[in-house]
Amino acid sequence: MTLGFSFERLAEDGEARAGRIITPHGSVETPAFMPVATYGAVRGLGPEELAGVGAQILLANTYHLHERPGDDTVRALGGLHGFTGWRGPWLTDSGGYQVFSLGDRMKLDDDGVTFQSPLDGARRTLTPESAVAIQEALGADIAMALDECPPVEGDAARARAATERTLRWAARAARARRREDQWFFGIVQGGAFPALRRESALATVGIGFDGYAHGGLGLGEEPEQRADLLAEVNQVLPPEAPRYAMGIGRPKDLVAAVARGVDLFDCVLPTRHGRHGVLFSHEGLLHMRNARFQNDGAPPDARCDCPVCARHSRGYLRHLLQKGEMLGARLASLHNLRFYLRLLEQARLAIREKRFSEWAGDVG
């Protein structure tokens, strides 16, 4: 039993469910979106601003924090909670996705991943055991097992090999755990093959984790295919454990995944779009550098309750973005995060009121 943690399902409507994750650093109402704080910060936004728009839990990147400033430094400064000033729950990924993205700088084998650091050129190794040790040093409330993510377009043999390696790594990671005050999630793989994903899920559950993640999705597959894969796996995952769809990002994709029983999400899309002057709104995407907004005195989104929409006009936001004023990127990111966080607040309410399907049908 992991100390100080629990997950309670509070309401269900079809496969969609509203719940609550309890951690030693606070609770998370689900379904929930986790803003991405790669280096321990959501770029340009402080803890008070994030809490003010409804953030409950943040995600940090294990690989990047291991490289800079180093997990020993983070631990010495109080773990992620003390180091960053965000006192609420944290989730850290395993770092595997970032290491695999290094391409020819990376070598993969059953032991782990050996790679050349882009920072200083030194050779480093990430193993299932070291990924656990780093995340325990970082002190996140929820840590992730190291996995191998096969390409969605890959063939069945490639997907099976990656899935079987992920399972071997998962068993090793589970044995390496030392902290009793940290939840640990296993990751289901299997590419675009439903039967392989079901097999992966059953084996991962057999190892035993506190929660389970859908890995390798949101990488180019069709939305209908993704929905089918989520549904296939959720049929065999234990209903009493949280479910996390890693990296799924567009608002309509989040809603579709909630409909299949997913509880947690993360994606860089809202803040990345914000930095590039693209806003999410009830009218669709707004490219704020467009000349049509120059003299527009309306709020960015009249139906949004964020502080940006309460105070600023489209014309002002365009001016900031056009001039490269850092406030423009900050305000756009803050608005986009509120759009995402409010979307899942509305999903939770719709589930509790047994009107989720009706509500979801109105989301563009």
Cα distance between residue 332 and residue 325, in whole Å: 12
- Would you state the structure tokens that stand for residue 325, as one six-digit string? 């004023």
> Whole-angstrom Cα distance, residue 61 to residue 330?
21
Rounded distance, CA 61 to CA 26, Å?
21
Active-site entry in 13, 71, 93, 253: 93
How far is residue 71's CA from residue 62's CA, in Å, rounded to a whole number? Answer: 8
The yes-or-no answer on residue 93 being catalytic is yes
CA distance 208 to 222: 30
Is 262 in contact with 30 (CB distance < 8 Å)?
no
Q: Among 13, 71, 266, 301, which one carries the catalytic annotation?
A: 266
Task: Give φ, ψ of 62 to 5 degrees.
Answer: -60, -45
Angle between helix 251-259 and 326-352 (nearest 10): 20
Bin 121: left if φ > 0, else alpha if -120 < ψ < 50, else beta: left
Q: List the beta strands (DSSP E) in 14-141.
A: 16-23, 26-30, 32-34, 58-60, 90-92, 106-108, 113-116, 123-126
Report d(CA 83, CA 208) in Å as an integer.
Answer: 31
Give how far Cα 189 sits from Cα of 107, 182, 216, 259, 318, Å.
Answer: 20, 23, 6, 20, 42
266 is catalytic: yes
Q: DSSP string covering 170-222, please? A: HHHHHHH---SSSEEEEEE--TT-HHHHHHHHHHHHHH--SEEEE-S-SSS--
Give yes or no for a contact between 339 and 304, defined as CB atoms under 8 angstroms apart.
yes
Question: Which residues are catalytically annotated?
Answer: 93, 266
